[in-house]
């Protein structure tokens, strides 16, 4: 089949592109390369350097032949930045998503997979683990912008028959087990690569934001899902939306604290991780763990890399082979 992937030069998008290619599909990528990397797009995929704010340019790409589906990853994605500049996040993520969905409807595309987020669940009354039926109460403009696109997709289905899968990720991590892709954010904000860089002496001591949470060791707890497992879930979701739209929470279903991440990196690397305590960050909940029961039961999905050490191993291998990321 033939798929369009927006944000296919980014961390998650590039791994999904690999998964689609590995299963024999043709892939075309749209990315403005503002945060993605040209080198992250496999040579077997065609890249259009297009900004989704330009609806005419998006429509021009979609007019180029038959499409069996669109997978949408392109977005501003830093929670902290969205708290500092809320209107930028609300405007850009909403308009780019709306432009893409509108173009899909205009070109008769019937399947759409959306990269949503666990940031939809921001209230203190969240259950543990969090099912899809939990109260939607975004704790940041970033989370709000993602929910706005979920609602756009709801109406695109109800009125135009565009079936969609909204996959609400928890914490994507790791790297392609074959070493073809990895994590390279500029700047890096994710805990596992930051911890690895601290262990390798590539950055100063790691700052641990909050050590007084109501958790077992006082540190935040997060559900880490390997990016290859996440990509597999997208392939399975595409099959589900042949008949109906679906929404899935996507995580391993087990939480690891920030301190447990440090311990894992130390075990896997054989190095000490220098770190220091820092104040809590605004908007950081103590606990975020997914209930992925619906995804597992409806698609047969199960993580192949469910252990934190396995996730860290692939991330460390990528970083050691590519110390300067895609600049290598």
Residues tagged active-site: 142
As a whole number of angstroms, the distance between CA 61 and CA 111 comes to 17
Peptide bond into 187 cis (omega under 30): yes
Q: For residues 167 and 132, is the Cβ–Cβ distance under 8 A?
A: no
Peptide bond into 129 cis (omega under 30): yes
Q: For residues 169 and 178, is the Cβ–Cβ distance under 8 A?
A: no
Are β-strands 46-48 and 69-72 bridged in parallel, bridged antiparallel, or unpaired? unpaired
Q: For residues 173 and 227, is the Cβ–Cβ distance under 8 A?
A: yes
| Nearest partner of 120 among 87, 173, 169, judged by Cα | 169
Q: For residues 224 and 253, is the Cβ–Cβ distance under 8 A?
A: no
Those residues whose C-beta lies under 8 Å from the C-beta of residue 109, and which sit 6 or more positions away, are 62, 67, 69, 70, 162
Q: For residues 204 and 198, is the Cβ–Cβ distance under 8 A?
A: yes
Q: How many CA within 13 A on the CB side of residue 53?
A: 9
> Which H or E run includes 149?
helix 141-160
As a whole number of angstroms, the distance between CA 305 and CA 22 comes to 18
Categorise residue 210: left if φ over 0, alpha if ψ from -120 to 50, beta otherwise.
left
């Amino acid at each position: 089949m033939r798929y369009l992937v927006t944000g296919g030069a980014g961390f998650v998008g590039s791994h999904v592109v690999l998964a689609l290619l590995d299963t024999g599909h043709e892939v075309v990528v749209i990315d403005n390369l503002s945060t993605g990397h040209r080198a992250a797009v496999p040579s077997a995929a065609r890249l259009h350097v297009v900004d989704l704010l330009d609806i005419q340019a998006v429509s021009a790409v979609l007019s180029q032949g038959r499409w069996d589906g669109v997978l949408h990853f392109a977005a501003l994605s830093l929670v902290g930045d969205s708290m500092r500049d809320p209107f930028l996040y609300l405007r850009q993520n909403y308009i780019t998503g709306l432009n893409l969905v509108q173009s899909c409807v205009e070109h008769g595309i019937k399947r759409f997979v959306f990269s949503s987020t666990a940031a939809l669940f921001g209230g203190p009354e969240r259950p543990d683990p969090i099912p899809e039926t939990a109260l939607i109460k975004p704790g940041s403009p970033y989370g709000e912008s993602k929910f706005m696109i979920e609602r756009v997709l709801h109406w695109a289905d109800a009125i135009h028959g565009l079936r969609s899968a909204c996959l609400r990720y928890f914490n994507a991590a790791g790297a392609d087990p074959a070493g073809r892709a990895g994590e390279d954010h500029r700047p890096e904000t994710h805990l596992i690569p930051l911890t690895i860089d601290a262990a390798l002496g590539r950055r100063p001591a790691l700052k641990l934001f909050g050590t007084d949470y109501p958790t077992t060791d006082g540190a935040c707890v997060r559900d880490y899902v390997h990016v290859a497992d996440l990509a597999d879930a997208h392939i399975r979701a595409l099959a589900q939306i042949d008949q109906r739209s679906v929404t899935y929470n996507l995580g391993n279903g087990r939480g690891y604290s920030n301190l447990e991440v440090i311990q894992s990196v130390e075990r896997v690397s054989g190095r000490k991780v220098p770190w220091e305590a820092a104040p809590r960050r605004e908007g950081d909940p103590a606990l975020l763990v997914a209930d992925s029961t619906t995804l597992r039961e409806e698609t047969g999905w199960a993580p192949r890399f469910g252990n934190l050490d396995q996730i860290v191993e692939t991330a460390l291998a990528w970083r050691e082979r590519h110390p300067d990321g895609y600049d290598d």
